Amino acid sequence: RVSSATSLSSAIINARLQELVKLFKERTEKVKEKLTDPDATSDDESPTTSPAKSAPAAAPVPPPAGEPEGDKPAGDEHYCEMLCCTFKHRPWLDRLKKYQFPSSIDPLTNLMYVLWLFFVVMAWNWNCWLIPVRWAFPYQTPANIHCWLAMDYLCDLIYLLDILVFQTRLQFVRGGDIITDKKAMKENYLRSQRFKMDVVCLLPLDFFYFKVGVNPLLRFPRCLKYMAFFEFNNRLEAILSKAYIYRVIRTTAYLLYSLHVNSCLYYWASAYEGLGSTTWVYDGEGNSYIRCYYWAVKTLITIGGLPDPKTLFEIVFQLLNYFTGVFAFSVMIGQMRDVVGAATAGQTYYRSCMDSTIKYMNFYKIPKTVQSRVKTWYEYTWHSQGMLDELELLVQLPDKMRLDIAIDVNYNIVSKVALFQGCDRQMIFDMLKRLRSVVYLPNDYVCKKGEIGREMYIIQAGQVQVLGGPEGKTVLVTLKAGSVFGEISLLAAGGGNRRTANVVAHGFANLFILDKKDLNEILVHYPESQKLLRKKAKKMLKTGNKPKDEKAAPGDPLIIPPKADTPKLFQAALAATGRMGSKGPLAQLRWRLKELKAMQA
């Protein structure tokens, strides 16, 4: 029994050791791949959590009899205190109890703060729109006064929470540093102009209700919380992809609110003069708010057709209305024009560029086929990219932000190029910033056979075809998005970087282009990468990029051009000198050539 137990334990130990050796070998292979290619990342380098540490609070359900643990179907785990099941997430009530409010809030990026500003703005709009209505129109009665007061104090509670909870936790910048200290954030808010306005907004004038009754005008200071409204506009415009739509809606709301206030003033003036006392005032029939709003629209927009005022009060009121209407309406029209103009600025720029190009082509009598292709290029480039030149947009950004955008857009494609694998990562980053986007139309020649190659091409979208054969029309291969061609031309020696085939766009193709001059400027700062690239280019020319059964043409790109052959006449003279002996100038020249060959060997 002792011997059988010993053999069993030794077998277990041997199996465990073999498993460890296998794991170490896999780890070694991953490290070798990482050292060979720094751009490659392993799929899973972090060790998995042991079951003992990752087990939930409830005990796991044992598998049924006859079913192995590894074959247990993976279902949706959830959290529960019972032994019948295991839960991945706790119920929402428990998570809500354990939720901790953040100690500091970033007002620029925190979406929760934007949502809170929405509720604050809704409370502010309640006061701005309904205080004039309750003051002028007889909509606030003793029967519904409790509903109005409940909504008023709910808005006051939102104002109070904004002061005590949110504004005292807002981060701010001091001397370039982001301040997140609680005491510093609170002091910064208490010293700000916004705190003073927030205090004025919550002045407890409601105590005068006991003396003068529930007068809505006593709540007028609640309308002074306009800073939250403008802050909400800025944050919302930064989030929306089409902010001009919100700007149009907001400008329209400004116009509607001015008409709303004017209708309230007209009903108040009619009540002051006496409803139906003259032909100018409201006669008290129909819906009072709709009738007064209709009168305000005709007055502010100066449509005309209104009854003439009779009394001095009516004349002065109407004159003020006309002056205010002309001024307010002109401001609204100007603001709406600016909003629409800013929304269509890109489209206007595109149309102006296209019109100028068409005018230029008509002046020089360019053929219609060429003009049609130019128009097609303008239309496709604008609809596919939303701009004519990406560099015009990115040139305004700092160098670091341009690099971040270039990495997100192009790094996955460039890092897969065989020529650049193993190079300095920073060199590739510098190269990404030099890439420029070009759109080719269907059947456009990207490059032609025999021309000097000065660029490398990366296909971002679309396809290109490599043509060959006797007539140059046979499709040798079709390259799709993510493919790269022309990279050897960047490193070929002068005179040896001619294209070896025709490349034609198959449909619309969007390509990234890297210029040879830009790459040379970058490689000056990375000599090791330059040596590696030249070595790779030479190897690719000898093995991969040239067919084995085809002799090299004079125009083939060569890193090191071959040595010229000795002229036949000179070879005959050297042979004659050999027969004449070692005397004479030709014999000495032959002896010098032998020495040079020996030194070269």
Break the chain into its structural domains and give their ranges: 91-239, 241-388, 397-545
Give, as one character, the DSSP assignment of residue 168: G
Q: Looking at the domain 241-388, which fold is it?
A: Helix Hairpins (1.10.287)
**Residue 265 token pair:** 């003033």
C-alpha span between 187 and 184 (Å, rounded): 5
Q: Is the model's pTM score more than 0.85?
A: no
Pairing of strands 172-174, 177-179: antiparallel
Q: What are the residues whose beta carbons fall under 8 Å from the beta carbon of 129, sequence distance 6 or more?
A: 257, 260
Distance of alpha carbon 249 from alpha carbon 335, whole angstroms: 12
Tokens (6 digits) for 449: 């056979």
What burial letters (b/e) apply to 179-211, b meaning 16+ CB within 10 Å? beeeeebeebbeeeeeeeebeebeeeeeeeeee
10-residue mean pLDDT profile of the chain (601 residues): values are 64 82 82 62 41 40 45 46 50 72 89 94 96 93 93 95 94 88 93 94 92 91 94 92 88 92 94 89 90 89 79 91 84 85 82 90 90 88 75 73 80 76 85 85 88 85 87 86 79 66 89 87 88 80 50 41 56 57 61 69 59
Task: Judge contact between 257 and 128, C-beta under 8 A.
Answer: yes
d(CA 274, CA 284): 10
397-545 CATH, one of 1.10.357.10, 3.40.640.10, 2.60.120.380, 2.60.120.10? 2.60.120.10
Cα–Cα nearest to 63, from 55, 72, 74: 72
**Residue 62 confidence (pLDDT):** 46
Backbone angles phi, psi at 88, to 5 degrees: -80, -40
At residue 34, what is the residue type?
Answer: K
Q: From 209, 227, 229, select the one nearest 219 (Cα to Cα).
A: 209
For residue 235, give the 3-state DSSP assignment: helix
CB atoms within 10 A of CB 273: 19
